[in-house]
Amino acid sequence: MATPALTAGPAVALARRPKHSSRRSGWLLFCVVTAALVCLPILAVAWLALNPSENIWPHLVRTVLPTYLFNTIVLMIGVAVGTLCIGVSTAWFVTHYQFPGRRIFAWALLLPFAVPAYVIAHVYTDLLEFAGPVQSFLRDVFGWQRANDYYFPPIRSLGGAISMLVLVLYPYVYLLARAAFLEQSASILEAAQALGLSRTERLFRIALPMARPAIAVGLAMALMETLNDFGTVDYFAVRTLTAGLYDVWLGMGNLGGGAQIACLILLFVLCLVGLEKFSRRAQSHVQSSNTRCKAFERVSLQGRQATLAVLLCGLPIVLGFIIPSVVLLRYSIIYFDVSWNADFLEIAWNSIFLSSMAALCAVCIGLLLSYSKRMLNHRALNAAVQVSSLGYAIPGVVLAIGIMIPFANFDNWLDAQMREYFGISTGLLLSGSVGILVFAYTVRFLAVAHGGLDASMKKISPHMDDAARSLGHSSLGIISRVHLPLMRSGILTAALVVFVDGMKELPATLVLRPFNFDTLATQVYQFASDELIGESALFSLLIVLVGLLPVILLSMTIDGARSGARSGARSGARSGASSGTRSK
Amino acid sequence: MFTAPLVRSGAAISLAVTILLTTPVAAADEVNVYSYRQPFLIKPMFDLFTKETGIEVNTVFAKKGLVERLESEGANSPADLIFTVDVGNLSSAVEAGVTQSVSSDTLAANIPAEFRDQDGHWFGLTNRARIIVTSKERVPEGEITSYEDLAKPMYEGRICTRSGKHVYMNALFASMIAHHGEEDARAWLTGLKDNLARAPQGNDRAQVKAISEGECDIAIINSYYMGAMQTNEEQFEWAASVNIVFPNQSDRGTHMNIAGMSLTAASPNKENAVKLMEFLSSDLAQAMYAEQNHEYPVNQSVQPSALVRSWGEFDHDPLPLSELVEHRVTASKMVDEVGYDG
């Protein structure tokens, strides 16, 4: 396939450049092999796309493609606008203003992240459809009888799908925007204030442009997840490209055609990434670390303003977390006997183990790749890194097929070799093992880890490297003594986000797992796939509960990084016999 | 301070990975199943099989991609059997070359020829009728008697169905193409589409719910959903709001589909697998299926559940299942062409 070509490229380049030390080229080779391995499933999907059983495009273009494209684009725009509005505004408020409950909001705003999109879709359909409690209540109050007597926005619609996805995906934007706002130097904002910029102007002219790379990463994650989502759009009968993909593959028995649609989806992502890069080609933000420690004061909000701030920050939490949790809890109690599973502990352990392994692998590989980008800046490698982080946008089952093909080929090849030379059969060594699942999760969520890590790596000025090197530190020394400590919160953020995503992962787990192997998500699916929301509630609730812990940890980490900075600032202030960093 | 624990836990984890990375060695007495069917629907039968024979049944359940998994695993695949909920997926497996022929006198005796592949590549396990349900309040009994009736203009804005792309709808549309030819089937499908009360959504159960709520008057569903609702406290009312119509009793009969199984080409536990197939076709397992899932047994010596019998007897469409397979891509494209799913 295409892998040899990929590895051959840099090898040729190496031969041409003898000035590389052997250690450096060894490292390069290692990076390239890792990147190639991670790219493999995506290349396998591309390879599938070359072999369709028939050309589907004339039919699609003539019939449903315009609808697919329209729905996909509107869905993406809607999710982009929604996640940006909620994510950025709440992040700005909890960072720069003081109002009742602010400290709680700071971490609680991440909670909806623990709720899988397909679960929230079920919950809100249950609440808002004709027979649900909301419409029944309205009918009782106003004396309406039939559906035709009044208008109620249909939950199963494009707008409904946008709302659901916004509610669970805005935390990506919030998370990265908040981290970026926190890291912004107070002195720049003070300078802007001294130059007469109002608070709003400071947000739009200073803080937002500076936070843009981070916000873009958060938005990219939200949009990639939107593109790979099938559960929600399918349940809401919104025909997007992803729905079309499954239809061509399963309905028309044309896997190659489905893979072609997957490639079209990737093209979307590449356009987005390219657009973002192009729009900030002239900008480069390197955080100068000496000003980082200076904390800014929070403005205290009073009266109506405080109420508004509480509403703004409270609403996403109520809608995205509290209401779904209450509904799930209620159903869990009602259907406990049906849904309870004696293997519960084992199932929960499977979920936790897989998600932690994925977090570890994704962070290590993500670090390696963004590091190699920084140090080596090799063109083929950079391209491979770019490709490897596309996995997130491919619908899970398709990516899973892209994974199983190279793995099973390897297994079968190994088996044949072992039979020939040693007379023993190794069977399928990796396929159908937990290892392939860890690999699948890693590939799927690498973009999530890599995006965040890259953003935090970019903030470390190359001057720091030079300074450390001039002090006699080796490359490894620079990594362990300069980069890793500076990236600590970035690394933990990446790990925890991948962990929570892993807890929710469904499609790849379903099709790649070993026999008799269940995770919390597959338990949910066994019932939810037949719209038995009550029976599936218990395990949905468990996903949310297990996801809570990392979410809270995550927020504490960010706060910790911040308060570390603050205490530094405070002690500096104390020695100067003045205090003023505290606001009450 | 940050790297040290990372290194230590890294070492521990890499050890754990080495242990877990490889596939566990297969036990001696077992049979491995890839299933498109939810485990909770088939587990009771598997448990009984294990109890009687001592053979463990291992399962992987997914709704997509299992045929592809079989294909890529090839000759080393650990799977012995594949279970599906429709004939389309069975034939996909056969077309992909991942099944093998089984000749068993027990299977031949228990399963009528019309519900199994001529070459023994697949066998039906249960039968489901694609029935029409109509609102007791708003549709006079006997007004609708056939699938063809559903395209009449008088039902404009009154019909609910699930997505036209779903395998159950696809098989029904394929049967229309088989009986009427492509052109007439398209005209019928256009008429049906024009009569829809809302964009196709939800599963079959949700359509009955919509009738009980007054959103529509008529729906097309699989028969066992009625049984599931009639035995569910919360959903009993939905089921009570509709009449059951077995369509086309004056001509070809009601459209049927099967849930079925195939023996995989690479089956490593072939003997056990055939045992399980035979067990599932037996009177005992078929009666369990019938009672628990409210489906029609393929084994003719087993009666449907009392509840299912209470819906009355009916004639089924004798169209060979292979015809459904033959027209399924055409049917799928037709759904796009008439814009059925909106």
Task: With a cut of 50, say whether residue A457 has pLDDT above it.
Answer: yes
CATH class of the B128-254+321-337 domain in this structure: alpha beta
For B255, half-sphere exposure in the C-beta direction (CA atoms, 13 angstrom radius) is 26
- Whether A428 and B60 lie within 8 Å, measured CB to CB: no
Q: Which two tokens stand for residue A267?
A: 């093209």
Please report which confidence band the pLDDT of residue A21 belongs to, taking 50, 70 and 90 as the band edges: low
Q: Is A131 in Cβ contact with B213 (below 8 Å)? A: yes
Instruction: Tell me which of A252, A261, A367, A397 to substitute to probe the interface with B (most B C-beta atoms closer than 10 Å).
Output: A252
DSSP string, B159-203: EE-S-TTSHHHHHHHHHHHHHHHHHHHHHHHHHHHHTBSSS--S-
What are the E-state strand segments in B204-318?
A: 218-222, 242-245, 256-264, 296-297
- Predicted local confidence at residue B145, as pLDDT: 96
Q: Which residue of B has its CA nearest to A155?
A: B201
| Angstrom distance (rounded) from CA B233 to CA A338 | 14
pLDDT more than 90, % of chain B: 80
Contacts of A530 in chain B (CB under 8 A): 38, 203, 205
Question: Which pLDDT belongs to residue B335?
Answer: 95
Using a CB-CB distance cutoff of 8 angstroms, which residues of chain A are in contact with residue B66? 511
**Which chain A residues are Cβ-neighbours of B34 within 8 angstroms?**
none
- Whether A248 and A239 have beta carbons less than 8 Å apart is answered as no
Q: Quick one: tokens of B312?
A: 């009355």
Pair of tokens at residue A302 = 């009073």
Contact list, A412 vs chain B (CB under 8 Å): 73-76
- Interface contact B39-A251, CB threshold 8 A: no
More confident residue, A554 or A584: A554
Q: Do B3 and A516 touch (CB under 8 A)?
A: no
Highest mean pLDDT among A77-91, A180-194, A288-302, B5-19: A77-91
Residue A134 touches partner B, C-beta closer than 8 Å:
no
Tokens, residue A352? 């936790």
Q: According to the model, what pLDDT value does residue A425 have?
A: 83
Write down the domain spans for chain B: 2-127+257-302, 128-254+321-337
Partners of A429 on chain B (C-beta within 8 Å) are: 22-23
Residue in chain A closest to B1 (alpha carbons) equals A485
Determine the Cα–Cα distance for residues A465 and A461; give it in Å rounded to an integer. 7
pLDDT, position A272: 78
Are A252 and B66 in contact (CB < 8 Å)? no
Q: Is residue A522 scored above 80 in pLDDT? A: yes
Check residue A578 and give its pLDDT. Answer: 36
| pLDDT band at A11; cut points 50, 70, 90 | very low
pLDDT class of A344 with cuts at 50, 70, 90: confident
What local confidence, expressed as pLDDT, does residue A502 receive? Answer: 92
The 10s digit of each residue's pLDDT in B62-97 is 988 899 999 999 999 999 999 998 898 899 899 999
CB contact under 8 A, B13 and A357: yes
Residue B240 has pLDDT above 90, yes or no: yes
CB contact under 8 A, A511 and B65: yes
Task: From residue A310, give the alpha-carbon distance in Å to each of A111, A203, A303, A306, B115.
Answer: 16, 19, 11, 6, 63
Q: B61 to chain A: which residues are within 8 Å by CB?
A: 510, 522, 526
What pLDDT sits at residue B94?
93
Tokens of residue A566, six digits: 């603050």
Query: What confidence score (pLDDT) does residue A563 get?
Result: 55
What residues of A are in contact with residue B165 (Cβ under 8 Å)?
A: 247, 251
CB A267 within 8 A of CB A227: no
Nearest chain B residue to A356, by CA: B13
Using the Cβ of A559 and the Cβ atoms of chain B, whether some distance falls under 8 Å is answered with: no
Chain B: residue whose CA lies nearest to A506:
B62
Cβ–Cβ below 8 Å for B92 and A514: no
Domains of chain A, with CATH numbers?
64-334 (1.10.3720.10), 335-556 (1.10.3720.10)
pLDDT at position A276: 72
Give which of A65, A515, A529 to mutate to test B binding, by max B Cβ within 10 Å: A515
Nearest CB neighbour to B165, from listed A131, A251, A484: A251
For residue A398, what are its two tokens? 């398709």
pLDDT of residue B12: 52
Q: What is the mean pLDDT of chain B?
A: 90
The whole-number pLDDT of residue B88 equals 87
**Confidence tier at A566 by pLDDT (50, 70, 90):** very low
> Could you give the CA distance from residue A40 to residue A1 in angstroms, rounded to a whole number?
9
* pLDDT tens digits, A434-448: 999 999 999 989 888
Q: Do B74 and A511 touch (CB under 8 A)?
A: no
pLDDT bin (cut points 50, 70, 90) of residue A461 is: confident
Mutate to test the interface with B, among A428, A479, A483, A518 (most CBs of B within 10 A): A428
Query: Which A residues in the span 345-374 are in contact with B, Cβ-Cβ below 8 Å?
Result: 357, 360
Question: What per-residue confidence (pLDDT) applies to B287?
Answer: 95
> Which residues lie closer than 8 Å to B193 by C-beta, 6 or more apart?
B338, B339, B340
User: Is the distance from CB of A285 to CB of A213 less than 8 angstroms?
Assistant: yes
Q: What is the mean pLDDT of residues A324-339?
A: 89
Range of lowest pLDDT (A322-326, A468-472, B338-342): A468-472
| Tokens found for residue A557 | 């980490």
pTM score above 0.95: no
Rounded Cα–Cα distance for residues B342 and B336 (Å): 9
Residue A5, pLDDT score: 39
Nearest neighbour of A64 by CB, restricted to B2, B329, B336: B336
Within 10 angstroms of residue A200's Cβ, the number of other Cβ atoms is: 8
Is A156 part of the contact surface with chain B (CB cutoff 8 Å)? yes
pLDDT average, residue stretch A567-574: 40
pLDDT band at A4 (very low <50, low <70, confident <90, very high): very low
3-state secondary structure string, A29-77? HHHHHHHHHHHHHHHHHHHHHCCCCCCCHHHHHHCCHHHHHHHHHHHHH
Residue A572 reports pLDDT greater than 50: no
Portion of chain A with pLDDT greater than 90, in percent:
27
- Closest in A235, A428, A514 to B73, CB measured: A428
Instruction: Nearest chain A residue to B21 by CA: give it.
Output: A435
Angle at B103 between CA B98 and CA B107, to 5 degrees: 105
- Measured CA to CA, the distance from residue B111 to residue B22 in angstroms comes to 40
Contact A453, A487 (CB under 8 A): yes
Say if the Cβ atoms of A412 and B332 lie within 8 Å: no
Q: What is residue A180's predicted lDDT score, i.e. its pLDDT? A: 83
- Fold match flag (B2-127+257-302 vs B128-254+321-337): yes
For A365-369, B166-170, B178-182, which range has the lowest pLDDT when averaged over its residues?
Answer: A365-369
- Give A-chain residues touching B202 at CB under 8 angstroms: 156, 235, 237, 531
Which of A126, A148, A250, A517 best probes binding to B when mutated, by most B CB atoms within 10 angstroms? A250
- Whether residue A161 lies within 8 A of chain B, CB to CB, comes out as no
Range A374-393 average pLDDT: 78
Checking if the pLDDT of A538 tops 50, the result is yes
pLDDT exceeds cutoff 70 at A282: no
DSSP B90-128: HHHHHHTT-EE----HHHHHHS-GGGB-TTSS-EEEEEE
Nearest residue in B to A438, CA atom? B21
Helix (H) or strand (E) segment spanning residue B58: strand B56-61
Inter-chain contacts counted by CB atoms under 8 A, chains A and B: 167
pLDDT tier for residue A345 given thresholds of 50, 70 and 90: confident
Q: Span B16-28, mean pLDDT? A: 52
| B2-127+257-302 CATH, one of 3.90.780.10, 2.40.50.100, 3.40.190.10, 3.40.50.2300 | 3.40.190.10
By percentage, how much of chain A surpasses pLDDT 70?
A: 88
**Closest residue to B66, CB basis, from A435, A511, A514:** A511
- Do residues A155 and A304 make contact, with C-beta atoms less than 8 angstroms apart? no
Distance of alpha carbon A66 from alpha carbon A70, whole angstroms: 6
What confidence tens digit (pLDDT) does each residue in A464-506 have?
878 888 888 777 777 778 888 888 878 888 898 899 999 999 8
Picking from A252, A404, A435, the nearest residue to B17 by CB comes out as A435
Residue of chain A whose Cα is closest to the Cα of B201: A237
For the ranges A46-55, A220-229, A525-534, B179-188, the lowest mean pLDDT is seen at A525-534
Residue with tokens 């093209």: A267
How far does B194 lie from chain A, in Å, by closest CA?
A: 17
Q: Do B21 and A485 touch (CB under 8 A)?
A: no
What residues of A are in contact with residue B206 (Cβ under 8 Å)? 531
The helix (run of H) or strand (run of E) holding residue A87 is helix A65-96
When the pLDDT of each residue in chain A is averaged and rounded to a whole number, the result is 82
DSSP bridge pairs for B218 = B134, B159
Q: Choose among A430, A488, A511: nearest Cβ to B69.
A: A511
- Partner residue opposite A435 with nearest CB, options B21, B205, B212: B21
Record: contact B165-A156, CB cut-off 8 A = no
Gap from A448 CA to chain B (nearest CA, Å): 20
Confidence of residue A289 (pLDDT cuts 50, 70, 90): very low
Per-residue pLDDT, averaged over A363-370, amounts to: 88
Label residue A78 by pLDDT band (50, 70, 90): very high
Across the interface, of B206, B210, B336, the residue whose CB is closest to A531 is B206
- The reported pLDDT for the residue numbered A18 is 44
- pLDDT of B186 reads 97
Which comes out higher in pLDDT, residue A323 or A29?
A: A323
Whole-number pLDDT of residue A286: 53
Structure-token pair, residue A38: 């991670």
Dist. CA A486–CA A479, nearest whole Å: 10
Of A236, A239, A515, the CB nearest to B60: A515
Residue A31 touches partner B, C-beta closer than 8 Å: no
